[in-house]
Amino acid sequence: MSGAQTQPDDTRSTAILQRMLALHPKKIDLALDRILRLLHRLGDPQLRMPPTIHVAGTNGKGSVCAFSRAMLEAQGLKVHMHISPHLVRFHERIRIAGELISEDELVATLEEVERVNAGEPITYFEITNTAMFLAFSRHPADALVLEVGLGGRYDATNVIDKPAVTVIQPVDLDHQDFLGSDIRGIAAEKAGIIKRGVPLIVGPQQDGPLEVILSHADRLSAPAYVFGQDFSAHQEHGRMVYQDEHGLLDLPLPKLIGRHQIENAAVAIAALRYSGRNWGTDAAIETGLRSVDWPARLQRLSRGPLIAAAPKGSEIWLDGGHNPHCAAAVSRAVADLEDLADRPLYLICGMLKTKDAVGYLQAFRGLARHVVTVNIPGEPASLGAGALYDMARAAGLDAAPAEDLEDAMLQLQAWSRAHAKEPPPRILICGSLYLAGQVLAENS
- How far is Cα 374 from Cα 371, in angstroms, rounded to an integer? 10
Task: Pick the range with the lowest mean pLDDT from 6-15, 253-262, 286-295, 404-413.
Answer: 6-15
| Cross-sheet strand order for the sheet of 368-373 | 299-300, 315-318, 426-430, 345-349, 368-373, 399-401
Per-residue confidence band for 2, with pLDDT thresholds at 50, 70 and 90 = very low
Average pLDDT rounded to a whole number, residues 156-177: 87
pLDDT of 174 higher than 70: no
Which comes out higher in pLDDT, residue 176 or 171? 171
Listed ranges 22-31, 112-121, 181-190; the one with the highest mean pLDDT:
112-121
Per-residue confidence band for 249, with pLDDT thresholds at 50, 70 and 90 = very high
pLDDT of 5 higher than 70: no
pLDDT at residue 29, rounded to an integer = 72
* 318 closest CA partner among 439, 406, 423: 439
Per-residue confidence band for 180, with pLDDT thresholds at 50, 70 and 90 = low
CA 382-386-388 angle, to 5 degrees, is: 55
Per-residue confidence band for 26, with pLDDT thresholds at 50, 70 and 90 = confident
Q: Which fold has domain 11-291?
A: UDP-N-acetylmuramoyl-L-alanine:D-glutamate ligase (3.40.1190)
pLDDT at residue 28, rounded to an integer = 66
- How far is Cα 344 from Cα 265, in angstroms, rounded to an integer? 29
pLDDT of 175 higher than 60: no
Indicate the helix (H) or strand (E) that contains 430. strand 426-430
Phi then psi for residue 236, to 5 deg, are: -150, 120
Q: Look over the chain and give the mean of its residue pLDDT values, rounded to a whole number.
A: 94
pLDDT at residue 14, rounded to an integer = 96
pLDDT at residue 197, rounded to an integer = 98
- High-pLDDT (> 90) share of the chain, %: 89
Average pLDDT rounded to a whole number, residues 186-209: 96
Average pLDDT rounded to a whole number, residues 35-54: 98
Q: List the CATH code of the domain at 299-442.
A: 3.90.190.20
pLDDT at residue 4, rounded to an integer = 45
pLDDT of 398 higher than 70: yes
pLDDT of 373 higher than 60: yes
Which residue intervals of the chain bear CATH 3.40.1190.10?
A: 11-291
pLDDT of 67 higher than 50: yes
Provide CB contacts within 8 A for 419, sequence distance 6+.
344
pLDDT of 133 higher than 80: yes
- High-pLDDT (> 70) share of the chain, %: 96
Which residue intervals of the chain bear CATH 3.90.190.20?
A: 299-442
CA 176-162-76 angle, to 5 degrees, is: 100
DSSP character string of 140-157: --SEEEEE-SSSSTT-TT
pLDDT at residue 172, rounded to an integer = 85
